[in-house]
């Protein structure tokens, strides 16, 4: 009975989407539709780009870009730490593509390696043969991975690497141990498997997801042990080593060491998601290396593509991998997808890893990251009513603002306090928008804890770059939050008036 009602509802819901228009096939040879050329795209105006974004890409997202004033910008080129817009303005990039630009924008040695590869007409797709590029990259990844993290699967997105990681764990743990423990405020990707262990209602929406997850607070070792005891079916613990989307949340070394010991005791596999925090960002190739422990499986992506292409890898301990896929009968259960191990992607990732070591980028992340953190802590001491916390490691740093009411003059606080939940993210929004508009600095926002501004710059970042960011923040905070809000609102009003005039 209930099922019958449900299916009726579904049919009604589907009726709200109009049927596609009927297109009668034109007989004869196919003619070229109205296509834009690459040169058309390069020369496109902001107005045309806005129109196409609205019509063909993501109309809803445009709303947020407009709120922040980001919709007026067309990036013409990028180099090192900077974007350059249509007016030649240099924008200092502390957003860093959410951590996908470790070697900087258009790193010359990455470009040179790719150009040479193209000029030599090397092959990209080699499914029928072994690839010297995929195997060499697998060797390099194994070489930078501690312990016996030696078996490598190549893919093209963090989600894909994490799906591979969860599957290798599930196969190695066995059919009776298919439950996955994950953390509050986790982000592991948007494909349906990993989305099941991503703790964001926005992303989960109302999708039908896997129901074999057990959620615990991040960094709570007692909760993990209690879960292991209550659910012997747990075969995998899936955790970001540093939570990115959760607001740059770290756990102490002691937690990770106890986690390793607990996993060994209960025979559970530890999967470390290093998609955002890995590839040198924290001052070690992997963030877990700070804690003297090695997971059973890990995943990297983002910066692995050298800022030029989509590359990702899952790395498993040999024993785990062999248990899952080690025989001819099991080898093809989860072998590379179409673009896994694509030639130019592999050599780009190889050059990226070589550059990280040869150009001292990992050590630079540690040194400049420590400077960034100390400079932000200095700001926090100066503006304790505005900045609540500074945290992170290397060049993965979060700056958390106080709840909005607390940043205002004392007389205004009680009246505004009841709106704090609704106003979460507003100060980071105002600051982010004004940092870009008035100080040419780009910072990143955070999905779950929207009071946090995320700083994930390229690892080529210098102390002078840090001084520019911190100096700009200091100037803005020095004016006080009331002025920041006024400035932001004034910009919105001017925008609306200009739009009104144009329309008239």
Residues that bind ligand PLP in the complex, under the rule CB under 6 A: 98, 157-159, 162, 187-189, 240, 244-245, 273, 275-276, 301
Complex with ligand PLP: residue 162 or 386, whichever CB lies closer: 162
Residue 125 Cβ, how far from ligand PLP at the closest point, in Å?
21
Q: Quote the CA–CA distance of 271 and 181 in Å, as a whole number.
A: 10
Q: Quote the CA–CA distance of 459 and 444 in Å, as a whole number.
A: 16
339's tokens:
């673009």
Complex with ligand PLP: residue 244 or 306, whichever CB lies closer: 244
Residue 304 Cβ, how far from ligand PLP at the closest point, in Å?
10
For residue 392, the cross-strand partners are 397
Residue 423 Cβ, how far from ligand PLP at the closest point, in Å?
25
Q: Locate the DSSP E strands across 291-413.
A: 297-300, 312-317, 387-393, 396-401
Q: How far is CA 337 from CA 100, 126, 189, 312, 372, in A?
A: 22, 12, 18, 12, 40
Residue 159 Cβ, how far from ligand PLP at the closest point, in Å?
3
Q: Locate the DSSP E strands across 207-287.
A: 213-216, 234-240, 269-273
Residue 161 Cβ, how far from ligand PLP at the closest point, in Å?
8
Residue 310 Cβ, how far from ligand PLP at the closest point, in Å?
8
Complex with ligand PLP: residue 456 or 481, whichever CB lies closer: 456
Report angle CA 296, 365, 381 to the nearest 5 degrees.
110
> Residue 405's closest CA among 388, 381, 382, 380?
388
Residue 311 Cβ, how far from ligand PLP at the closest point, in Å?
10
219-246: burial string, b at 16+ Cβ within 10 Å, e else: bebebbbebbeeeeebbbbbbbbbbbbb
Complex with ligand PLP: residue 163 or 375, whichever CB lies closer: 163
Complex with ligand PLP: residue 209 or 491, whichever CB lies closer: 209
Residue 199 Cβ, how far from ligand PLP at the closest point, in Å?
12
Complex with ligand PLP: residue 295 or 323, whichever CB lies closer: 295
Residue 30 Cβ, how far from ligand PLP at the closest point, in Å?
35
> Residue 451's closest CA among 247, 198, 243?
247
Complex with ligand PLP: residue 312 or 356, whichever CB lies closer: 312
> CB within 8 A of 198, min separation 6: which ones?
186, 187, 188, 189, 190, 204
3-state DSSP assignment of residue 390: strand
375's tokens:
């400079």
Span between the terminal Cα atoms of the chain, in Å: 58
Complex with ligand PLP: residue 246 or 427, whichever CB lies closer: 246
Residue 225 Cβ, how far from ligand PLP at the closest point, in Å?
24
DSSP code for 105: B
Complex with ligand PLP: residue 93 or 240, whichever CB lies closer: 240
Complex with ligand PLP: residue 227 or 277, whichever CB lies closer: 277
Query: Is the Cβ–Cβ distance between 100 and 157 less than 8 Å?
Result: no
Complex with ligand PLP: residue 145 or 159, whichever CB lies closer: 159
> CB within 8 A of 13, min separation 6: which ones?
none
Residue 243 Cβ, how far from ligand PLP at the closest point, in Å?
8
Query: Is the Cβ–Cβ distance between 231 and 244 less than 8 Å?
Result: no
Residue 188 Cβ, how far from ligand PLP at the closest point, in Å?
5
Complex with ligand PLP: residue 98 or 445, whichever CB lies closer: 98
Nearest residue to ligand PLP by CB is 158
> CB within 8 A of 166, min separation 6: which ones?
180, 193, 194, 197, 236, 238, 271
> Residue 98's closest CA among 451, 447, 465?
447
């Amino acid at each position: 009975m209930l099922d019958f009602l449900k299916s009726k509802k579904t049919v009604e819901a589907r009726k709200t989407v109009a049927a596609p228009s009927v297109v009668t096939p034109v007989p004869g040879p196919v003619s070229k539709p109205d296509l834009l050329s690459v040169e058309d795209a390069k020369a496109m105006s902001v107005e045309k780009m806005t129109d196409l974004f609205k019509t063909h890409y993501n109309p809803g997202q445009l709303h947020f870009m407009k709120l922040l004033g980001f919709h007026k910008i067309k990036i013409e080129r990028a180099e090192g730490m900077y974007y350059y817009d249509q007016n030649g303005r240099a924008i200092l990039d502390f957003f860093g593509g959410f951590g996908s630009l470790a070697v900087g924008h258009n790193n010359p040695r990455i470009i040179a390696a790719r150009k040479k590869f193209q000029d030599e007409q090397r092959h990209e797709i080699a499914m029928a043969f072994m690839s010297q590029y995929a195997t060499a990259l697998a060797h390099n990844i194994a070489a930078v991975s501690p312990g016996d993290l030696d078996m490598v699967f190549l893919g093209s997105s963090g989600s894909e690497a994490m799906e591979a990681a969860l599957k290798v764990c599930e196969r190695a743990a066995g059919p009776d141990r298919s439950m996955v423990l994950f953390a509050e405020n986790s982000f592991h990707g948007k494909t349906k498997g990993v989305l099941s262990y991503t703790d964001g209602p926005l992303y989960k929406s109302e999708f039908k997801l896997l129901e074999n997850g057990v959620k615990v607070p991040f960094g709570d070792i007692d909760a993990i042990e209690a879960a292991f005891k209550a659910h012997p079916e747990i075969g995998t613990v899936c955790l970001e080593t540093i939570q990115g989307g959760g607001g740059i949340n770290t756990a102490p070394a002691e937690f990770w060491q106890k986690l390793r010991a607990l996993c060994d005791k209960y025979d559970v596999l530890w999967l470390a998601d290093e998609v955002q925090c890995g590839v040198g960002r924290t001052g070690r190739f992997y963030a877990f290396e700070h804690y003297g422990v090695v997971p059973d499986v890990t995943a990297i992506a983002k910066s692995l593509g050298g800022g030029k292409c989509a590359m990702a890898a899952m790395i498993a301990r040999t024993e785990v991998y062999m248990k899952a896929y080690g025989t001819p009968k099991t080898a093809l259960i989860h072998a590379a997808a179409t673009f896994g191990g694509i030639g130019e992607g592999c050599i780009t990732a190889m050059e990226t890893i070589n550059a990280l070591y040869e150009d001292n980028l990992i050590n630079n992340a540690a040194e400049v990251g420590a400077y960034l953190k100390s400079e932000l802590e200095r700001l926090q001491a100066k503006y304790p009513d505005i900045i609540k916390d500074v945290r992170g490691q290397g060049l993965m740093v979060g700056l958390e603002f106080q709840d909005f009411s607390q940043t205002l003059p004392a007389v205004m606080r009680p009246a505004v306090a009841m709106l704090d939940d609704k106003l979460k993210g507003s100060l980071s929004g105002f600051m982010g928008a004004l940092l870009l508009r008035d100080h040419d600095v780009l910072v990143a926002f955070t999905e779950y804890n929207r009071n946090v501004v995320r700083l994930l710059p390229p690892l080529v970042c210098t102390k002078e770059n840090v001084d520019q960011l911190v100096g700009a923040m200091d100037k803005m905070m020095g004016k006080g939050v009331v002025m920041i809000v006024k400035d932001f609102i004034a910009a919105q009003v001017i925008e609306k008036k200009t739009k009104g005039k144009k329309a008239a």
